[in-house]
Structure 1
Amino acid sequence: MPAKHDINKVGVESSDFPILCETCLGPNPYVRMTKQEFGNECKICNRPFTVFRWNPGAGGRYKKTEICNTCAKIKGVCQTCLLDLEYGLPVQVRDAALGRKSQAPQSDINKQYYIQNLEAQMADSPDGQTFDSEVANRAGREMLKGIARSDPYYKRNRPHICSFFVKGECTRGGECPFRHEIPKEGELAKQNIVDRYYGKNDPVAKKMLREQAEIKGMKAPDDKSITTLLFLGLPQTTESEVRASLVGACPFVKPIEIRSLTIVEASHCAFVNFKLRNLAEKVAEALTAQGGIEVSGKKAKVVWGRARPQKGKAAIAAGESSGSTSTATAEMTSS
């Protein structure tokens, strides 16, 4: 495929070997690959790149690289499954646990300029640069090690589901190279390769973060009106320092999305109220994965807030309602 004549395109990429995880390579140590120069466009940067294709093992489907070598190095992911090479987990889970901020732009022109600069940096660096950002977080790394698989998960290499079987029209029977199963519906069935790469709106990552939050006692309350998180065990600090620590630990939070932030010095805690419930849940999951939030060099615990007790007319109305119910019940009992 020839490169497009566009001044905003970096050009093409050629590589001698792909960047793959153990699962995608398969159990066969003598795997054979086909190599096609500029065989397809990268799903992320849209540049023609070298495509590798291989069969990971008996009974598996043929796999191929989906993104270019440079995009894989930037995020430190496999070129095929787009999972982190060190932990084998989605990018969104890794970034949330490590407090890593993605600096990669998504607009076409800025994206090409950004990738071009990173390529030049990696060429000049003796050990090579992989991630677009790096933050040391011991608690986050321990969490990632705990949920990461210790062995390759070769079940991911299974053939795709036979579309003719789903329609009830497959006549090949046991000779059919595809799986004869009914696809499962749900949020996990709706995955996008671009969202997985940038670590945004990944349903698999959301499920994993939600499960970890529940395990650590940070299950989101059923009352959807609760959008407040409590930071407990804070040192002597200021509102600006707490805001800076929150944005640093959760780069996806914008200052305008925080409705209010109140520090109670006597109790060494802070109440952070968000405008949206979805954002509060996302922050809770990320801070739980990181083992809390670090403010002024000290780790603080994060818990969900509680619903405010009813006051004034609402409480009186609720009391009158319960009182009338009790009276009616008493009258029915006496009669």
Structure 2
Amino acid sequence: MRNLFLSVISLFIIVSVGCNSQKKASRITFLSPEPGNIRMGDTIKLQLNIPETEQTDSIVYYVNDSLIERSNGNEPVFFDSSNLRIGPQQLVAKHYQNGELTERKVSVTLLPQQAPEQFSFSVVNTFPHDDEAYTQGLEYQNGFLYESTGEYGHSSLRKVDLATGNVIQKVDLPQTQFGEGLTIIDNRIIQLTWREGIGLVYDKSSFEKVKEFNYQASREGWGICYDGEKLIKSDGSNRLYFLDKDTYAETGRYIDVYNHNGPVDNLNELEYINGKIYANIYLTDKIAIIDPVTGIVEGELNLIGLLPQKDRKLDTDVLNGIAYDRENNRIFVTGKKWNTLFQIKLLSP
């Protein structure tokens, strides 16, 4: 009985000491910054809120696991955010007292300083487009459009005459595959599927499928484009992935896309135009113009009202499809089951 009594007392002491230690440590918190958004280029103030009863031997501050500064007291540390990557940042403070360590963390999101430049448009020309084509990917080369269409049981790869809208060449995808984004590298056509986790590679001339490749970190296949060195792929989130142009494997590099309000999700069909990524934002009439290095949305092209109401049917769907004629600097856009393909010109405010 005595042994049981001593055991209970010992357990009570251990629990009490543990609780008091945890309670003591929890009194140290981040004073600055508070969780939330900050602007790129702002100076971040780092400081802990330490009760007067606590002693401080030193504090070491980190941003995303990179050492920022060591402090022998609790004086504030100032850090320039200009060199940080856009998006979530984790700030860590390691507080040392009598050889004991207390670690505190706070998360902030770095956003661009400026709102995107707003572009409107003018229609330069119009061309016929198959209003049964559920457009998912679009490319232009030498007078022809190369188009990927979606929907299970109706997905296809097409070569279309720009002037007439006539389908010159076509191959249907299996009913179990949903066609998505498309781009061209030399004599190869790369077409994505949606949730099937594979990309398809075709010979450009014959439309013969020559290879398949598997997705990796990217969740799904939405849009894809080629910048002359690497492939850029969207998966419906705000993240764009960079792929090797020969193996189609993800390189591990990516950018997260943000505007001044936060992440820009639902990035869909992509086109690379004059050093920028143009991305349809799914379920909107807007195209985001993205810096491929930083992920910042530098511009927004508002195409509301592009397709006249009289040309809309019950199954006419959203804007989707961007193609660029590099030789003649022409931009073409269309939508899912639209009867028209538009050549447009961007207009600054």
TM range (shorter): under 0.3
Question: In proportion to residue count, which structure has more helix?
Answer: 1
Q: TM-score, normalised by structure 1?
A: 0.26
State which structure, 1 or 2, has the greater radius of gyration over its C-alpha atoms. 2
TM-score of the aligned structures, taking structure 2 as reference length: 0.25
More strand per residue: 1 or 2?
2
